[in-house]
C-alpha cells in the first residue's frame, strides 16, 4: 500500500514558538513544512477525552498550544 501526501497552499498566520516547521492558518488548521519545503496538513489526535495536536511526537492540548502561538511576521526581501 502506498501512502500519498496531500500538498496544499496555506496562509501562515500563527507560528508556534519552539517549533519552526509547524504553523497555523486563519481557520486554525495545523500545517508542517517537511525537508523538501512541502506543506503537509496535520491531523488532530484524540487522547482520552482531549482532542488536539501532536508536534514532534508530543501531545499538546489547545490551552497548552495557545501559550506558544506567535503572530507570523513575513519577511519582505528588498
Q: The cell 498550544 sits on which residue?
A: 65
2 assigned to some structural domain: no
Q: What is the mean pLDDT of the chain?
A: 85
Give residue 49's domain range: 14-71
Q: The cell 501532536 sits on which residue?
A: 54
Domains in the chain: how many in total? Answer: 1
pTM of the complete model beyond 0.85: no
- Of 63, 59, 56, which Cα lies nearest the Cα of 18? 56
Q: The cell 502506498 sits on which residue?
A: 2
pLDDT bin (cut points 50, 70, 90) of residue 7 is low
Report the pLDDT value the prediction gives residue 70, as an integer from 0 to 100: 93
18 assigned to some structural domain: yes
26 assigned to some structural domain: yes
30 assigned to some structural domain: yes
42 assigned to some structural domain: yes
Amino acid at each position: 500500500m502506498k501512502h500519498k501526501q496531500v500538498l496544499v497552499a496555506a496562509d501562515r498566520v500563527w507560528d508556534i514558538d519552539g517549533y519552526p516547521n509547524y504553523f497555523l492558518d486563519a481557520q486554525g488548521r495545523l500545517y508542517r513544512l517537511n525537508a523538501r519545503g512541502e506543506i503537509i496538513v496535520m491531523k488532530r489526535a484524540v487522547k482520552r477525552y482531549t482532542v488536539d495536536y501532536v508536534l514532534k511526537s508530543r501531545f499538546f492540548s489547545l490551552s497548552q498550544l495557545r501559550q506558544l502561538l506567535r503572530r507570523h511576521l513575513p519577511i519582505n526581501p528588498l
